[in-house]
Structure 1
Amino acid sequence: MATSADHQRAVVADDLSISYIEHGSNRKHEAVSGISFELEPGEILGVVGTAGSGKSALGRILSGRRRPGKGEWPFITGGTLEVVGMDLRHPSRLDRRRIDLDIGYLAQDSGDQLRNDLTVAENIAEPILSRDRTFDRKRLGRAAAMLIDAVDLELGMLGKFPFELSRGQRQRVAFAQALIVEPSVLVVDEPAQGVDIIARPALFSLLERINVARNCTMILLSHDLRAIERLTKNVLVLDRGFVLARGTIDEVLTDPHHAYLKRMREAREYALTPLPGLVERETLAAMDLVADGLFGDPDPEQLGADAERSAREQLVSQRAEFARFHTDDAEEKE
């Protein structure tokens, strides 16, 4: 039985085993075998492993999502798992209603799962509207705009449909969709998957800001140690469903005893430089707004400043002779 202290932790996995039914057969395959770990609120854990290591199955289970009838969708076969106080092995009716609101989940193919009959804005808002059709549409629209800006996409994309976007753009829309409910735990499977290399710094910066501002617990699953290391030094290394190591990256890679850990250390030595690309000032400002909260009352001074800037930019676009005033004003602020 879990103690009261366990409920204060964000994630408690105890001797957790996960299996799935192999596609096209009735044979059960064990993806994860007897792993245990705990996460405090606000902690970031990187789960590292090659294809077939069990990390994606773990991510799906941690997300709490269930898809009955879907082949190869994993299920818990042993041990216990609690996320923000919810029993994910035997969730209650209340737990099932809370899961999608308390746990954000971005799968590798989330961008491909967006509804093509909804606009980008409607897709982002869907996790809220599917539960409350009376939710204030104006507040939702403002939140969707903040999110699309924060994931470094143009506001004009809000009115487009997913089939009009590239795969990387769709994945960033799915990223925004996962954040719209402001989850207390966020599970991200391959955070850089399919995303243009120039856009990746914005996504990692957004995750970092949300973690700091909202004490959001994060589990990042990836084969790429460089991607994980941008946000945390704490890792759990999986290999064929078993835990090879748990600790900081330096601890795990010091005198590695396993061939996979040795390859990780070698790869790290060649990948210590930061990802290329810069995040635009406007995108950074949008990230701060998202991190501070999507549904708070807007700052009147900020709204006034935004309106003034918009009017100035419109004037410059219409009257080229005023461009020097716009440039001088920007230089003074810098």
Structure 2
Amino acid sequence: MADRNVLTASDVTIEYPAHSVSSAFTAVKGFTLVIEPGEIVGLVGSSGSGKSTLAQVASGQAAIRGSKENSPRIIGGSLDVLGFQMRGLKRANLNKLTLGVGYVAQDAGSNLTSNMTVAELVAEPLFLRDKRFNRQEAGLKAATLVDALLLPVGTMLKQPHELSSGQRQRVAIARGLILDPVLLIADEPTAGVDVSVRGAVVDVIAGLQRSRGASALIVSHDLDALGRAVDRIAVIHEGVVVGLGPIDEVLGDPRHPYVAGLARETYADEDESDEGDEMDEAGGDDDDASAEAEYEANEDADSARAEARREENR
């Protein structure tokens, strides 16, 4: 695996086939990207840009659902993931593919089994693969991931309804990481997660994958959350890659109007942040205190944990 790209997409076109009264729709067209072993790549784009469709196809989730659910399919180009050609992938190879590819859907946190504890939910994929897996080892592995994702260890005994939406999403991320995937494909993994914790959560995902020499494709519309975690970003617009490279280089020298718009938004946000810092130094702003008071109590505690984790890593 060390000398093979984890993912190679060449001029990939993906469509949703005609269904009922709907005609066929092309969601991705001419997509090209390479992810090397150990590389963390962010896939950035607006809603409807095709990034989630690509994540479903590359992870094998579209093939798992099959034609019964009008799933997207590759109609042009080639997509190789862990050595498997995704176009026309056979069921036997699909089962092998999913052993090495982890997937976190953007609504994964809202689809957790309601009557299971967090400990059971995170560890479940281990037992689905091997019913005789050591339970003590599974519990320790699950607890380690829960802690790494800035959740209190006491979360292990809770059920999904006892958690905030952001905490449920992080439980889903832990579940996606429990099998040590060679490639993790995470579609908006910070959806519902408090803004003060998003960057730290993405940092954890990237750090865990890097520590094992594994890779990740992190789909997001939030450049701030990707921050320093990714090695490169691929910007997708209307199904086509319009920017590719290290985040600072892509934004610093935009070659497409959509990328230029992203750059303006990003730098404007940074300017506003700098102005806010200056106001804090001059005496602060009461609006910030009011906003902080509106955060959920669970997310407040997680924010403190995120800050402590950042201090440890400095």
TM-score, normalised by the number of residues in structure 1? 0.75
1:45 aligns with 2:41: yes
Are 1:49 and 1:55, in contact at CA under 8 Å, matched by a contact in 2? yes
Q: CA deviation at 1:246?
A: 2.1
Which is further off, 136-145 or 17-26?
17-26
CA change 1:165–1:20 in 2 (3 A) is same
Out of 47, 59, 71, the residue aligned to residue 63 of structure 1 is 59
Give the counterpart letter for 1:118 in structure 2.
M
Q: CA deviation at 1:195?
A: 0.6
| SS across alignment from 1:232 | coil
* Matching residue of 1:190: 188
Structure with bigger gyration radius: 1
Out of 207, 210, 233, the residue aligned to residue 208 of structure 2 is 210
Out of 22, 31, 35, the residue aligned to residue 31 of structure 2 is 35
CA change 1:282–1:97 in 2 (3 A) is farther
Are 1:21 and 1:71, in contact at CA under 8 Å, matched by a contact in 2? no
Equivalent pairs, count: 282
1:96 aligns with 2:86: no
| Separation of aligned partners in 1, 2:306 and 2:253 | 40
Are 1:150 and 1:202, in contact at CA under 8 Å, matched by a contact in 2? no
Out of 4, 8, 26, the residue aligned to residue 8 of structure 1 is 4
| Separation of aligned partners in 2, 1:279 and 1:24 | 49
Residues 153-190 of structure 1, C-alpha deviations (whole Å, 9 max, x = no match): 12222222222322111101001000000001111112
Are 2:5 and 2:35, in contact at CA under 8 Å, matched by a contact in 1? yes
Q: CA deviation at 1:280?
A: 5.6
Residues 233-283 of structure 1, C-alpha deviations (whole Å, 9 max, x = no match): 522211111222222334433453533122111112134469x95546986
| Separation of aligned partners in 1, 2:91 and 2:198 | 37
Unaligned runs of at least 5 residues, structure 1: 289-334
CA change 1:278–1:157 in 2 (3 A) is closer
| Separation of aligned partners in 2, 1:115 and 1:63 | 22
| Separation of aligned partners in 2, 1:72 and 1:202 | 36
Residues 295-321 of structure 1, C-alpha deviations (whole Å, 9 max, x = no match): xxxxxxxxxxxxxxxxxxxxxxxxxxx
| SS across alignment from 2:12 | strand
Which is further off, 192-201 or 120-129?
192-201
Give the counterpart letter for 1:79 in structure 2.
G
Q: CA deviation at 1:45?
A: 1.6
Unaligned runs of at least 5 residues, structure 2: 275-299
* Matching residue of 1:169: 167
Are 1:44 and 1:231, in contact at CA under 8 Å, matched by a contact in 2? yes
| Separation of aligned partners in 1, 2:308 and 2:223 | 29
Residues 76-109 of structure 1, C-alpha deviations (whole Å, 9 max, x = no match): 2222111111222233444222233211111110
TM-score, normalised by the number of residues in structure 2? 0.80
| Separation of aligned partners in 2, 1:152 and 1:250 | 27
| Separation of aligned partners in 1, 2:168 and 2:59 | 20
* Matching residue of 2:140: 142
1:155 aligns with 2:153: yes
Give the counterpart letter for 2:142 in structure 1.
A
CA change 1:228–1:139 in 2 (3 A) is same
| Separation of aligned partners in 2, 1:112 and 1:24 | 28
CA RMSD for the aligned pairs? 2.9
Which is further off, 129-138 or 203-212?
203-212
Q: CA deviation at 1:204?
A: 2.5
Give the counterpart letter for 1:238 in structure 2.
I
Are 2:6 and 2:81, in contact at CA under 8 Å, matched by a contact in 1? yes
Are 1:120 and 1:158, in contact at CA under 8 Å, matched by a contact in 2? yes
Residues 31-73 of structure 1, C-alpha deviations (whole Å, 9 max, x = no match): 0012112111011222111111101101111111121366453
1:269 aligns with 2:297: no
CA change 1:162–1:72 in 2 (3 A) is farther
Are 1:150 and 1:284, in contact at CA under 8 Å, matched by a contact in 2? no
Q: CA deviation at 1:22?
A: 6.8
